[in-house]
Amino acid sequence: MIKKFFITGTDTNVGKTIVSSILLKKAATYGYRTAAYKPISSGGKKISNIILNNDTIILQKSSSIQLSKKEINPIAFFECGPPHILSYLANHHIKQRDMSLGLKKIEKKSNWIIIEGAGGWYTPLSYQNTFSDWVKKEKLTVVIIIAIKLGCINHAILTEKAIFSEHIKCGGWIANNINPKNKYNIDYIKTLLHYIKSPFLGEIPYLQDHTQIDLSSISIILPQ
């Protein structure tokens, strides 16, 4: 049986890629053939007409099976911005069918897949649909990444309620400490534990160097 998890965040820049990287490495220690899929990315370096997105590079290195950057990230935009706007400007319509085909190709090689979204839960793919519509179509289990900062409680509650309202399974949430020091961090997490109904999968400490991650120092549970 193939396990597939969609990683969403309470906002953009909440650490979805770093947490995805940790989950992939953790799952590999349990013997899974892990792979990442980031169907849409924005922002990167253009080399020989190929756009290299930094998140894609991290996800590629964190997967236990070998995948090309194109397999991991089939739709890449050079500029940073909302996918629906960038696709309109580039005259490149984002098709859910193509996103699904890319996922099916990875399913043939892996049995534990992390699918990373873009921005938050309702990031538009066009003026007609959002990322959440594709997640619902694929019947993916969602994991919420919550950046511990001012405003995260409201954003987290709204995100979970939105997921539940569409009858989508939420496999849990992870607290990501994106700031080195915040005297209210413990209180934020206590409050989230009270309000968020999905399983608490663990807490990521503040990581000054994202390239050097010691899994033994990070206590998280794999989503189910």
| Residues involved in catalysis | 38
Is 54 annotated among the ligand-binding residues? no
Does the annotation list 18 as a binding residue? Answer: yes
Residue 55 annotated as lining a ligand binding site:
yes
Consult the annotation and say whether 205 binds a ligand.
yes
DSSP string, 127-153: SS-BHHHHHHHHTPEEEEEEE-STTHH
Asked if residue 12 belongs to a known ligand binding site, the reply is no
Has 177 been labeled as part of a binding site?
A: yes
Task: Find out whether 117 is annotated in a ligand binding site.
Answer: yes
Query: Does the annotation place 17 within a ligand binding site?
Result: yes
- E strand or H helix at 71: helix 69-72
The answer on whether 108 is annotated among ligand-binding residues is no
CA 74: distance to chain centroid?
16
Pairing of strands 45-47, 50-52: antiparallel
Say if residues 95 and 18 touch (Cβ distance below 8 Å).
no
Q: Closest by alpha carbon to 168, among 121, 215, 124?
A: 121
In this structure, the number of other CB atoms found within 10 A of the CB of residue 195 comes to: 12
The burial class, CB within 10 Å (0-12 / 13-18 / 19+), for 6 is: buried
The answer to whether the annotation marks 125 as part of a ligand binding site is no
Gap between the Cα atoms of 65 and 34, Å rounded: 6
Confirm or deny that 15 is annotated as ligand binding: yes
CA distances from 198 to 4, 6, 20, 52, 160 (A): 17, 15, 18, 35, 8
Q: From the annotation, which residues make up the binding site for Mg(2+)? A: 17, 55, 116
Q: From the annotation, which residues make up the binding site for ATP? A: 13-18, 55, 116-119, 176-177, 205-207
Q: From the annotation, which residues make up the binding site for substrate? A: 42
Q: From the annotation, which residues make up the binding site? A: 13-18, 42, 55, 116-119, 176-177, 205-207
